[in-house]
Structure 1
Amino acid sequence: MAVRGVMTPHGWYVKALPSGEPYPLESRLNPLFREAGVTTLCGALKYSASLHGSKPCMATRQLLRREREEKNGKTFEKLELGEYRWKTYEEVQQAAVEVGLGVRRLGLEPLDRVVIFAETRAEWLTAAMGCLQHRITVCTLYTTLTDAGVAHGINETEVSLVFTSFDLLPRVARVLQQCPRVTTVVVMEDQLEDVGDTSKIPSNVRMVPFKSFCQKDPAVAAVSTPVPQADDVAIIMYTSGSTGTPKGVELSHTNILASVVAYSVQMNVGPQDRYLSFLPLAHIMELASEIALISLGATILYSSPHTLTSTSPKVMRGTEGDAKVARPTVMNAVPLVLDRIIKGVTQKVEKQGWLKSLVFSEAVKYKFWLEYIPFTSYFMNTFIFRRVQEELGGELKRLVVGGAPLSPQTHDTMRAIFDVSIQVGYGSTETSSCISGMDEDDTITGHTGGPNLGVLMRLVDWEEGNYRVTDKPNPRGEIVVGGPVVCKGYFKLPEENKTAFFEEDGMRWFRTGDIGEVNSLGSIKIIDRKKDLVKLKHGEYVSLGNTESKLKTLNNVENICVFADSTKDKTVAVVVPSADRLWKVAASVGIDEGTLTIEELCTDERVKEAILRELQAHGKKCGLTRWEVPAAVYLTLEPWTPDTGLVTAALKLRRKQLSHHYEHSVHDMYSRLD
């Protein structure tokens, strides 16, 4: 996308808004908005059902058998899975209608709210669409939120009805004691165990199976259906804040449909495509994508990170992963998932011997350099990468990546192995996931493309970080976004709304807090974040997020948090190493397997030095400066999960909590360096 910038008294602008209308005409969804007059999310489903009635819309994989086993005091679950079972567009629309009527019969009125606290599945979107048809706002909660975070979302929105699932019912039962307004829980059933154990649900709370909502009952009196409005708050989406309590973002139908239009322009997707869904629907990137795909007539097959590939943790031996069965042509992903896929592939190849490992790594390294030679790419895909590509179905054509910066190394490696077009996007919940996105034929890495259709973007000076729109060769500054994608604000947080949002010339704007650099073609590169920038003792600035994203691509690193003290001239890091590869590091420094426990390896100075040397070499290779690369490391096998409070529900680092948790370890590392 070739877009030019322009300097104004307010900052440096990139323009990508061809008209003042919410849904520009350059969209393939023109018939949806212009001819059918669709202005709401539920209207998009209704229109697609009328157009693609008998075509497969959603698919759920059959669960054949479940085994549970105890190991080291923990319960592990393995699943035997069968084929996918379909529901047509017409069937999904009818189910949504019945769900909406069922909610109304429970006593809810237009403009009331419900909570959906469930993992990604077909019933999630069906429930949401049913509620929206009756102007009932859907409040979404990440399944990885802590119990306190779930209770906060339920109580703040003052809901009486909670949708949940068989897997999460025990958690809901725990938090209901703290949620006195809840009177009904609707449970999305398990294929084998129905709704499960309901004995711990408080006696004053009614439990309703989801299937009973989806069955038409002619004996029940009809309920009037109101007309949803484009400016209604359709979704209150709770984000997992990196500093504290989750906050709700109010998104209107117009906000999300503006993102849907941008997706339809950016992605060459249509009725012939199969999309594999496994990211949280409680995340705006996934929700907006699925509504766009439904609007375009594609088929959605539901999965889970636990069953995605044949080596995923819940897949029973002898059962194929979801991707292999679904054979998707398009997927969404986040960098963390791609890093894990690459690490899994690398480790699997390494087990086949040094020769195969060498051939594989060299093929990855030089594939794109050799593409000019006829049939070279075909040869590599057929004889070197084909078996690996089959793990994701073998027909994947497009991969959309968002949620966090994608390192160029991960981008190139994933593209080489899976022979897939990777389009990196940039957005936020506050902008309906929509700010910028790469074009399909763009092979340059390290950026997030130009502004999406319908988005206004400008850069504003950030003096503290020494970023200015007058910087050469490219302007830099805080990214500020305007247009129909910008949300209505934060739910019940007026002071934060004043800080984050503002109105100017009839346009609503959002201050992202991200620092961007824009080249002459209008491509955006996220180079920093206000909260992640630290100035060291001698005046050097270190971007903690940028440093971590590059160091995390080292195979031996599962996760990493870099710490910087403004009174010091070096950084240090706490590293969660890959447990499997830690033994190889130990062997490289002369430690025989079995002489130490894996916990003892983490405290062994020889192992720490070896990991540190690898980090420093890898950081230098990735272009980090000497003060950005850690001068000392602390190794821990402690899991960083939302339950421990060290990462958000979206698995982003919580720096304040990590700093407090590892305070003594960080102090000790700096003491040794002094």
Structure 2
Amino acid sequence: MTILYMLLSSLEITDISEQELELIEPLESKFPIDKIKVTVCCQSSFICFRFYVLSSRYKWMTYKEAATARTAIGCGLIHHGILKGSCIALYFINRPEWLIVDHACAVYSLISVPLYDTLGPDAVKYIINHADLKAVFCMPLTLNSLLSILSEIPSLRLIVVVGGMENEVPLLPSSTSVQVVTYSQLLSQGRSNLHPFCQPKPDDVATVCYTSGTTGTPKGVVLTHGNLIANASGFTISVKFNLSDVYISNLPLAHIFERFDHISLAHFGVAVGFYQGDTMKLIDDFADKETPSKGVFCKSNFKHVCRAEYI
């Protein structure tokens, strides 16, 4: 079981539709590790966006809204024939969609495979083939490098472009078996084809984390749902957060340490903010006078900034 399934199963839901409610099953009687229990309200802030070219105000995404998006992404993948046990790559820098896709993998028993955004085409090709990846979520900047190696990655069935516009997505020849869609298109497809959660077991594989490849061919480490929950459970014995806390995320989510942090933060209902992508500008991220109380947001041009406090 993963923290995301726990989040949506033990969450106190007060204003969710009957259709969404049918997708949620009780957790406590089914999972042996009970030290982690999510008690946040579904209206607590989780992630949000701000596009300067449209508005100076933040558009917040609550835990409930993130949960709804998570369900739509998971159902969108099923709509494309990507079923339980398939490996899904997250090949982009930290941003709100990263968490939502990871959570979608959790509740539909898919295996997330994070890829460092700094990996070159050879390393990406190796991991896609080695992990038998069925789908890759990427940014527009990395789309072309993926398309250039399509003939060498036969397992791939779907490429989802995060932050891309529909008119920017190329039409591939009918001879290829790979489809390219935007993140927004996948959301829409999932909302129209809802499926119940596919509950993972503690011994099911949750993620395969590959090394960055600095010492040779990337090596994959297999972690189960039980592994992740056991680590987070032990962490929460001595470390506590509050609903009012905000966490700044500057380590790559492709690194298991940052992934582990986010599991624990979701348990406590903490809001997470992403830095703008440059560690030399972290102080600037904190110094912004327009700091919101909590949450995650991004600028236009897809740079991510955290406006938060040290905790």
1:268 aligns with 2:240: yes
Mapped to 2, the partners of 1:189 and 1:269 lie a distance apart of 31
Give the drift of 1:210: 0.9
Give the drift of 1:281: 1.1
Alignment check: 8 A CA contact 1:166 1:195 kept: no
5 Å-filtered alignment, 1:473-488, equals none
CA shift digits 1:567-614 (9 cap, x unpaired): xxxxxxxxxxxxxxxxxxxxxxxxxxxxxxxxxxxxxxxxxxxxxxxx
Q: Secondary structure in 2 aligned to 1:64? A: coil
Larger radius of gyration: 1
Mapped to 1, the partners of 2:189 and 2:168 lie a distance apart of 26
Cα gap change, 1:141/1:92 in structure 2, threshold over 3 Å: closer, same or farther? same
Alignment check: 8 A CA contact 2:5 2:106 kept: no
Aligned to 1:198: 169
Mapped to 2, the partners of 1:327 and 1:309 lie a distance apart of 18
What is the aligned length? 272
Mapped to 2, the partners of 1:171 and 1:196 lie a distance apart of 19
Give the drift of 1:268: 3.3
Give the drift of 1:146: 1.7
Give the drift of 1:56: 0.6
Mapped to 2, the partners of 1:184 and 1:236 lie a distance apart of 19
Q: Which runs of 5+ in 2 are unaligned?
A: 14-39, 296-304
Cα gap change, 1:173/1:117 in structure 2, threshold over 3 Å: closer, same or farther? same
Alignment check: 8 A CA contact 1:231 1:252 kept: yes
Mapped to 2, the partners of 1:166 and 1:195 lie a distance apart of 11
Give the drift of 1:144: 0.9
1:174 aligns with 2:174: no
Aligned to 2:159: 185
Aligned to 1:281: 253
Cα gap change, 1:82/1:284 in structure 2, threshold over 3 Å: closer, same or farther? farther
Give the drift of 1:214: 2.4
Give the one of 93, 107, 130 matched to 1:156. Answer: 130
Mapped to 2, the partners of 1:58 and 1:119 lie a distance apart of 15
Q: Secondary structure in 1 aligned to 2:229? A: helix
Alignment check: 8 A CA contact 1:237 1:284 kept: yes
Alignment check: 8 A CA contact 1:140 1:238 kept: yes
- With normalisation by structure 2, the TM-score equals 0.76
Mapped to 2, the partners of 1:85 and 1:286 lie a distance apart of 25
CA shift digits 1:329-380 (9 cap, x unpaired): 99xxxxxxxxxxxxxxxxxxxxxxxxxxxxxxxxxxxxxxxxxxxxxxxxxx
Cα gap change, 1:298/1:112 in structure 2, threshold over 3 Å: closer, same or farther? same
Mapped to 2, the partners of 1:261 and 1:217 lie a distance apart of 32
1:228 aligns with 2:190: no
1:45 aligns with 2:18: no
Mapped to 2, the partners of 1:48 and 1:323 lie a distance apart of 34
- Tell me the amino acid that sits aligned with residue 4 of structure 2: C
Alignment check: 8 A CA contact 1:235 1:250 kept: yes
1:211 aligns with 2:184: yes
1:123 aligns with 2:97: yes
% identical equivalent positions? 26
5 Å-filtered alignment, 1:325-404, equals 325-326=290-291, 396-398=309-311
Q: Secondary structure in 1 aligned to 2:185? A: helix
Cα gap change, 1:218/1:254 in structure 2, threshold over 3 Å: closer, same or farther? closer
Give the one of 281, 298, 301 matched to 2:270. Answer: 298
- Tell me the amino acid that sits aligned with residue 309 of structure 2: L
Cα gap change, 1:217/1:238 in structure 2, threshold over 3 Å: closer, same or farther? closer
1:96 aligns with 2:70: yes
Mapped to 2, the partners of 1:157 and 1:310 lie a distance apart of 34
Higher normalized contact order (CA 8 Å, seq sep 6+, divided by chain length):
2
5 Å-filtered alignment, 1:372-521, equals 396-398=309-311
Alignment check: 8 A CA contact 1:310 1:321 kept: yes
Aligned to 1:58: 47
Alignment check: 8 A CA contact 1:235 1:252 kept: yes
Q: Which runs of 5+ in 1 are unaligned?
A: 1-38, 66-80, 312-319, 331-390, 399-674
Cα gap change, 1:111/1:217 in structure 2, threshold over 3 Å: closer, same or farther? closer
> Which protein is richer in strand relative to its size?
1
Mapped to 2, the partners of 1:144 and 1:280 lie a distance apart of 10
Cα gap change, 1:236/1:89 in structure 2, threshold over 3 Å: closer, same or farther? same
Cα gap change, 1:104/1:310 in structure 2, threshold over 3 Å: closer, same or farther? closer
Aligned to 1:24: none
Cα gap change, 1:111/1:201 in structure 2, threshold over 3 Å: closer, same or farther? same
Alignment RMSD: 3.1
Give the drift of 1:310: 8.2
Q: Secondary structure in 2 aligned to 1:227? A: coil
Cα gap change, 1:143/1:310 in structure 2, threshold over 3 Å: closer, same or farther? closer
- Tell me the amino acid that sits aligned with residue 43 of structure 2: S
CA shift digits 1:529-588 (9 cap, x unpaired): xxxxxxxxxxxxxxxxxxxxxxxxxxxxxxxxxxxxxxxxxxxxxxxxxxxxxxxxxxxx
Give the drift of 1:82: 4.6
Give the drift of 1:242: 3.7
Cα gap change, 1:299/1:308 in structure 2, threshold over 3 Å: closer, same or farther? farther
- Tell me the amino acid that sits aligned with residue 53 of structure 1: C
Cα gap change, 1:41/1:310 in structure 2, threshold over 3 Å: closer, same or farther? closer
Alignment check: 8 A CA contact 1:329 1:396 kept: no
Give the drift of 1:60: 3.0
Mapped to 1, the partners of 2:148 and 2:293 lie a distance apart of 37
Give the drift of 1:285: 1.2
Alignment check: 8 A CA contact 2:247 2:310 kept: no
- With normalisation by structure 1, the TM-score equals 0.37
